[in-house]
């Protein structure tokens, strides 16, 4: 529990860092997909992760909503664990904000559609 509100997380977080490459797909126009963005993923669980990124709207497609904020966009990502096999995940962004201490960077929280077995296995490694 935090000082002012209840912690809403339902799954334990793992404080791991990995390079991630993601694209954003328009929810309104599914054929419209952004170019890949390289970022840093951290704070993993079996249901989601947070990502620190230099771009919150690659190619004009915002990670969370369309320009009218009426349709959810989708994020497809490949987690690149150091010394491990790439792990594919997809889902939606549930929050975003400016990243603390990183001028011009953002952080977003992504909820996975369905966690992969590869991701679950990687998270259990110590």
Distance CA 81, CA 119 (A): 10
Name the more confident of 109 and 66.
109
pLDDT band with cut points at 50, 70 and 90 for residue 6 = very low
The DSSP call for residue 4 is: S
Render pLDDT for 12-63 as a digit per residue (tens, 0 to 9): 555 678 999 999 999 999 999 999 999 999 889 888 999 999 999 999 999 9
* Vertex 58: Cα angle to 112 and 86 (nearest 5): 45
Which has the minimum average pLDDT: 75-79, 85-89, 104-108, 117-121? 117-121
Write down the pLDDT at residue 45: 87
Residue 7 has a pLDDT of 47
pLDDT, tens digit, for every residue of 72-81? 999 999 999 9
Question: What would the DSSP string read from start to end of 50-85?
Answer: EEEES-SSGGG--SSB-TTS-SB-EEEEEEE-TTS-
As a whole number of angstroms, the distance between CA 24 and CA 92 comes to 9
Instruction: Let me know if domain 14-124 sits in CATH 3.40.50.970.
Output: no
pLDDT digits (tens, 9 = 90+) for 81-103: 988 899 999 999 999 999 887 67
Longest CA–CA span in the chain (Å) reads 44
Quick count: other Cβ atoms within 10 Å of Cβ 92? Answer: 18
CA distance 69 to 93: 13
pTM to 2 decimal places: 0.83
CA distance 62 to 82: 28
């Amino acid at each position: 529990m935090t000082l002012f509100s209840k912690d809403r997380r339902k799954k334990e977080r793992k404080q791991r860092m990995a390079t991630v490459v993601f694209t954003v797909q328009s929810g309104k126009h599914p054929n419209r997909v952004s170019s890949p963005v390289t970022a840093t993923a951290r704070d993993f669980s079996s249901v989601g992760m947070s990502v620190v990124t230099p771009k919150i709207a690659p190619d004009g497609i915002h990670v969370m909503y369309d320009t009218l904020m009426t349709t959810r966009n989708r994020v497809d990502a490949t987690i690149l664990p150091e010394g491990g096999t790439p792990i594919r995940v997809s889902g939606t962004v549930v929050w975003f904000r400016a990243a603390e201490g990183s001028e011009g960077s953002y952080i977003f929280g992504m909820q996975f559609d369905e966690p992969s077995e590869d991701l679950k296995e990687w998270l259990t490694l110590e």
